[in-house]
Structure 1
Amino acid sequence: MTPQLLLGDERTASQLCELGVRRGGVLLVHASMRSAGGSARSMADALRRALGPEGTLVVPAFTPENSDTSRSYLDRVRGLSDRARAEVRATMPAFDPEVSPAPSMGAFAETVRQSPGARRSAHPQTSFAALGPAAAKLLGGHRQDCHLGEDSPLARLYDADAQVLLLGTGFDSCTAFHLGEYRRPEPPRRLYRCVVAREGRRRWWEYEDIALDDSDFAAIGADFGHERPGAVDTGRVGAAPSRLFRLRAAVDFATGWLGRRRADGR
C-alpha cells in the first residue's frame, strides 16, 4: 500500500472515530462506494482500523439471484413467456456459502465477503459476512428457514449491542428494521423458494417465513431520528453523508412503530 493510500485510510478512520464508531465493538455496515468515493478495499481497511483488532465488521451478503420468489427475479422475468421463464430458472445459480457472490449488495460488501478470514452465515438468500473475533458467534446458527429473525445474525447483533453505519445510504436499506417485523404479534407469513446445492446436486427448496416488507423503512428511519433526539449521529465518511446508531435502539423503535402503523394486517 502506498503512503498516500495509507494516509487516506487514516483520514477515513479518523472520520469514523469522530462519528462515534466504537473501538472493539461490532458494526453492521451498509455502504455506497459511489457516494463515498475511493476504493472498497481502502474503506474496509479504514473501518477495521477504526474498530481495532478486537472489533468485528459485518455486512449483508444477500443473494436474491438464486430465488424465483424474489423481487429481482420477478422484475427480470416480467413480460417473458413461460418457456423463457423456465430457461431463466434453469440457469439460476445454486447457493454455496463459500463461493456465491452477492452482486446486489455492492462493492463494499463483496470486498468484505471475499477478504481473508471472513466468515459467512448459512442462509441461502439472506446471509451475512463478517471479519473479526466475534464473527463465528454472530453468524453461527443462522437457520435456513429464518431470513432475519430470532435465529439469524440480526438477533445476535441485537444481543451484542452492535452499531449500524449507513455509509452513503438511506434508512430504506436498514436491514435491522426487519428484526422488528419478526417481533410484531402474529406477523404475516409467505412462501419463499430458492435453489441450493445439497449433496453435490442442485435442488429447489421451498419454505415459509415472515413476509418481509421494506417499503416503509425510510419513514421508520425519519421518525426514529425525529422522535429519538441524539439516537442518530451524522457526519461524512469519505465523501458520503453517513448515519451511525445503535442497532438495538433502532430495532426497538421499529418494533413499536410497526405495531402501530401496520395494524391493518400488512
Structure 2
Amino acid sequence: MTRVDRAILVSRADPAEVDRLAADLTALGVRAGRDLLVHCSMRRMGPVAGGPATLLAALRRVAGPAATVVVPAQTAGNSPTSPAFRAATEGLDAAGRAAYEARLPGFDPATTPSEGMGIFAEYLRRQPGAARSGHPLTSFAAIGRRAAEFTAVHDLDCHLGERSPLGRLYRAGAAVLLLGVDYTRCTALHLAEYRPEARRPAGPPPQRAYRCYVLVAGRRERRDFLAPSLDMSDFSALGAAIDAGLPVGRGLVGSAPTRLLDLRDAVDFATTWMAGHRRP
C-alpha cells in the first residue's frame, strides 16, 4: 500500500481544521459559486488533521454547492513514449524495452490511479460522485455540480487544449488555485500553446507521436496518435510576468504559499506573452 493509499484510507475531515482552512481560503479570495482548478501539495501545508478530506471539505464549504472542484489526474505509466518509461527502461536493450512495454497496464478512468498528482488529487478522484475525463495520459477529475460536464470531452489528440476539460473551464470562467506549488504545475497555461495567436513568431507547436494502452471492456488495447509537443520550460518566467501583470490573490493556506488567479485572464495573458517571448 502506498503513502497515498494510506492517507486516503484514514482521511476524515476534522471540523476545527475545516474552519481554519476555510478562513484561509476566504481571505485568499475564493468565493462561492466559482469553479476551481486546484493544483496542490499537501506536504507544503504542514500538518492538517484529516488530510485531504479536510481540505476538500474546506474548499467545498467556501466555494459552495454551485461550484465544481477539478484536479489533474494524469497518468504516464501506460505509455512507452513518456519520460517515465524512458527512465524505467534506461540501459535495457530492444528486447528488454519490448518486454517492459508488454507489461504496461491499460488505462481505465474508473480505476487507474493518478500518478505524481499528489494526495489531494487522488483523494478527490476516488470520491463518490466524482467524474474523470477519458484521456489515458492527461485526465482530470472533478466533483460538484458540473463535474460530468467538465470531464465529458477529452479528445486523444488534445492533451491540454480546447477539447479537454481546460477548454470548458476557460469558458466557464473558473479560477486556478496553486496551493503550495508554483507556475510550473499550472496546467492551464498549456491551453495558451494551442492558441494560434501564441504561435507568432515561433509557429505552431511541433507534433510528436504518442503511444499508450487503454482498457476497453476489460481488454488491453494500444492507441497511437499525434499531438502537440508541449513546453513548460519557460513557465517560471511566464509566472513571474503573470504575478507582475495580473491581479493574483496571494496568501497562506495552512503553511503553504498559495496563489489564486482567474484562469481565463491567465491563459489570455500567456497567449500574448508566448507570442512575444518564444522563438523559432
Smaller-chain TM-score bracket: over 0.9
Q: State the Cα deviation string for residues 54-104 of structure 1 (Å, max 9, x = none).
A: 111000000111111112222222222323322221121100011010031
Is 1:121 the counterpart of 2:110? The answer is: no
Contact 2:76/2:115 (8 A) holds in 1: no
CA distance in 1, matches of 2:74, 2:241: 27
> Which residue matches 2:142?
130
Q: CA deviation at 1:4?
A: 9.3
CA distance in 1, matches of 2:13, 2:232: 40
Segments of 5+ residues of structure 1 without an aligned counterpart are: none
CA distance in 1, matches of 2:237, 2:180: 17
CA distance in 2, matches of 1:133, 1:200: 30
Q: 1:195 to 1:227 in 2, by over 3 A?
A: same
Q: Supply the AA of the counterpart residue of 1:23.
A: A
Candidates 207, 222, 226, aligned match of 2:240: 222
CA distance in 2, matches of 1:45, 1:88: 41
CA distance in 2, matches of 1:236, 1:72: 32
CA distance in 2, matches of 1:103, 1:41: 19
> Which residue matches 2:275?
259
Is 1:75 the counterpart of 2:87? The answer is: yes
> Which residue matches 1:248?
264
CA distance in 1, matches of 2:221, 2:149: 28
Candidates 196, 211, 220, aligned match of 2:214: 196
Aligned ranges for residues 93-112 of structure 1 at < 5 Å? 93-112=105-124
Q: State the Cα deviation string for residues 93-130 of structure 1 (Å, max 9, x = none).
A: 10001101003111010000001100001111111000
CA distance in 1, matches of 2:123, 2:16: 20
Corresponding residue SS for 1:109: helix
Q: CA deviation at 1:29?
A: 0.3
Is 1:141 the counterpart of 2:159? The answer is: no
RMSD: 1.8
Q: Supply the AA of the counterpart residue of 2:69.
A: L
Contact 2:13/2:57 (8 A) holds in 1: no
Q: Supply the AA of the counterpart residue of 1:217.
A: F
CA distance in 2, matches of 1:15, 1:101: 29
- Identical aligned residues as a percent: 49
CA distance in 2, matches of 1:190, 1:260: 24
Candidates 40, 44, 49, aligned match of 2:56: 44
Q: Supply the AA of the counterpart residue of 1:164.
A: V
> Which residue matches 1:187?
205
Q: Supply the AA of the counterpart residue of 2:254.
A: G
Q: CA deviation at 1:14?
A: 1.1
Segments of 5+ residues of structure 2 without an aligned counterpart are: 1-9
Q: Supply the AA of the counterpart residue of 1:248.
A: R
